[in-house]
Structure 1
Amino acid sequence: MPLAPIEKLPAELIQPIFFYSDLNLALPAASPHIASKFANEYCYHAVCTRYLTTNLESRVEQTLAQTRIFSYKWMMWDHFRSFVLKKWGVNGCLCGKTPKEGCFDAQWPPDFEDATTMLFSRSHLPALSYIKCRIPVKLLSGPWTSDKVQFLRFLLWTTSMTVDWASHEARAAAREGKKEALLTGNLEVVELFNHNRRLGKAPSVDTVRFAVMDAGCDRSIVYDTMATARTWGLRGEAWNCEVLDQWCEGKIQEGDPKGEWLQLKLEELRVTHGAGDLNSGYMDPETGNYEDVDGDKLVITPHKWNQVYIYSCAARPFQDALHPVPSS
């Protein structure tokens, strides 16, 4: 099919048209030939500034535009970091304000490796927190490179992005992404899925059973998964599982220390002290622990996703305020 006249325009002519249209994303979406004329850092930065930092009149249209931007191939971790540094480097804080404008605890430079080290509260939000679109499918499944993990963690910590649960592709990607993280023993990714309800439901006994029997019972992953399931309501008899009990007995007979360790953790989780007792089922990380055997060392990470801390005034992390836990 021959190119349309507009597709034949050189970049020097079509780029001004794009900017005069208020960076209407329908233009690059109309043709890959047209889109290639905007494939440069100047246009990318302008698009991000327009749709990720400016409140437009239509919230729905802006959310759709933001979702489209994060799905683009060029929107990768390197580019996003570059955009963040250029956009807010002058003010020196991810809140986008100077001290005169209300910034009282500058978070700069951004911790791109582990965003959870940056402190925010309801009275000191990052400017990115107003991004309310869909997490791109490309960040929901493996291979779990360090760039992908850092990008996903940064977006979960600083924005209001969620998985598009109405999309079969997104649901499948999130499900397979978590499964792959369990099977490959990727503790960082498993922790993200365990502690963020925006990435799916809280782990269940079925999840623990999969982590034990199918994924090799990495103790760090199993402990974190069990602890999270307990936090979200699994108590007492809910931990009764004949299959796991049989697995423990089998490993004990084989002389595998994982058997006794998991058996003890299950016994601790099954302890109850009365209805509504929050101390019921507490797992002591020290009981039953043993030295590193064949690379299986118990690592327990202090998580910040749902902590209460003192920050200017008593406040939960802004994520809790912006992302209420779903009922299901």
Structure 2
Amino acid sequence: MSLSPVEQLPLELLQDIFLQSGPNLALPAASHHIAAKLSNDYCYHATCTEYLTQNLDSRVEQSRAQTRIFSYKWMTWEYFQAFVNKTYASCGCLCGKTQDEGCFDPIWPPDFQDATNMVFSRSHLPALSFIKCRLPVKLLHGPWERSKIHFLRFLLWTTSMTVDWGNHDARKLALEGKKQAILDRNLEVVELFNHNRRLGKAPGLDMVRFTVIQGGCDRSIVYDTMSTARTWGLRGDGWRDLKLDQWCKQKIAEGDPKGKWLKLKLEELRTTHGPVGIAENGGETEPRAIFGYMHPKSGDYDNVEGDKLVITPHKWNQLCAEGGL
């Protein structure tokens, strides 16, 4: 099939048309030949600068463009880091402003290894925070390489991106991605899913059961999942589960210390107290239930076959409590 007149244009003219058109992402999408010609760092940077660094008139169209950009194969973790460095190095802060322009707490260089080490607030947001589009599905499933984890964590920490819950494949991949992380005993990824509602609903008893029975009861993953489930409303009798009790009984009989440890954690969470409060006038108030919680050190034991209990302080919750993102 012969090329169209537009496809036959030299790179210099085609590139100028693309940039002058917006750049309009429909142009490279219309032809593999055109897309190949426009596949260079100059066009990539111009596209990202247009759609990722400023607020345009139509936020709906901009969000669609942002979603498309992050889905492209060339939008890798390596490229995104290079773009961020090139775009904000002159300012000296991810907020996009110099100190003369109002930046009062410069954050530079970016912590690409663990974005949660960068502390932002509502009065000092990263310039990327206005990016509100869909997380690319390529970051929602395994294999969970280090670059993928760093990329996903950085986007969750600095932008407003979320899973496209209206897309069946995206929903499925997000759920499968979390389960695969559990099976792989990848605590870092499980924590991302547990503590970010943009990646799915909070874990419930069914997910706790999965981490124990199918996931081999990696104590760090089980503890984090149970703690998150409690934080989001699982209380008292809601923790009663015959399958978990049977699993504990079997492991205790086998001499596996995980059985005794999990049994204690479940007993702690199932505990409910109803003390009588004292009203301001000295009378009694209605009893208020106080639900149990897990003691980090109770029942702990030495590292056995790589199963050391690791409890991570979660900065996501701290940031929200302090009025951050």
TM-score by length of 1: 0.93
Corresponding residue number in structure 1 for 2:305 = 294
Cα distance change of structure 1 residues 3 and 308 upon mapping to structure 2, 3 Å threshold: closer
> Among the aligned pairs, what percent are the same residue?
69
**What SS class does the counterpart of residue 318 from structure 2 fall into?**
coil
Q: Tell me the distance in 2 between the aligned counterparts of 1:170 and 1:159.
A: 19
Which stretch has the larger CA shift, 206-215 or 8-17? 8-17
Q: Tell me the distance in 2 between the aligned counterparts of 1:308 and 1:276.
A: 29
Q: Structure 1 stretches of 5 or more lacking a match?
A: 319-328
Q: Tell me the distance in 2 between the aligned counterparts of 1:72 and 1:161.
A: 16
Q: Which amino acid aligns with 1:315?
A: E
Is the 1:131–1:161 contact (alpha carbons within 8 Å) kept by the matching residues of 2? yes
Q: Which amino acid aligns with 2:316?
A: W
Corresponding residue number in structure 1 for 2:284 = none
Corresponding residue number in structure 2 for 1:128 = 128
**What SS class does the counterpart of residue 65 from structure 2 fall into?**
helix
Corresponding residue number in structure 2 for 1:315 = 322
Offset at residue 276 of structure 1 (A): 6.0
Offset at residue 165 of structure 1 (A): 0.3
**What SS class does the counterpart of residue 307 from structure 1 fall into?**
helix
> What whole-Å deviation, never above 9, does each CA across 1:239-268 have from its counterpart, x for those lacking one?
000100000000000000000000000000
**Where does 1:204-219 land on structure 2 (aligned, <5 Å)?**
204-219=204-219
Offset at residue 52 of structure 1 (A): 0.4
Offset at residue 308 of structure 1 (A): 5.4
Is 1:283 the equivalent of 2:294? yes
Cα distance change of structure 1 residues 69 and 276 upon mapping to structure 2, 3 Å threshold: farther
Is 1:198 the equivalent of 2:209? no
Corresponding residue number in structure 1 for 2:239 = 239
Q: Tell me the distance in 1 between the aligned counterparts of 2:108 and 2:17.
A: 36
Is 1:111 the equivalent of 2:118? no
Is the 1:230–1:281 contact (alpha carbons within 8 Å) kept by the matching residues of 2? no
Q: Which amino acid aligns with 2:313?
A: P
Q: Tell me the distance in 1 between the aligned counterparts of 2:21 and 2:297.
A: 62
Q: Tell me the distance in 1 between the aligned counterparts of 2:219 and 2:207.
A: 14
Q: Tell me the distance in 2 between the aligned counterparts of 1:281 and 1:27.
A: 59
**Where does 1:95-106 land on structure 2 (aligned, <5 Å)?**
95-106=95-106
**What SS class does the counterpart of residue 6 from structure 1 fall into?**
coil
User: CA-atom RMSD, angstroms?
Assistant: 1.3
**Where does 1:1-328 land on structure 2 (aligned, <5 Å)?**
1-274=1-274, 280-307=291-318, 315-318=322-325
**What SS class does the counterpart of residue 227 from structure 1 fall into?**
helix
Q: Structure 2 stretches of 5 or more lacking a match?
A: 275-286
Q: Tell me the distance in 2 between the aligned counterparts of 1:174 and 1:10.
A: 42
Q: Which amino acid aligns with 2:322?
A: A
**What SS class does the counterpart of residue 317 from structure 2 fall into?**
coil
Is the 1:306–1:317 contact (alpha carbons within 8 Å) kept by the matching residues of 2? no
TM-score by length of 2: 0.94
Q: Tell me the distance in 1 between the aligned counterparts of 2:121 and 2:52.
A: 20
> What whole-Å deviation, never above 9, does each CA across 1:256-291 have from its counterpart, x for those lacking one?
0000000000000111223765x6221111000000
**What SS class does the counterpart of residue 266 from structure 1 fall into?**
helix
Q: Tell me the distance in 2 between the aligned counterparts of 1:12 and 1:40.
A: 12
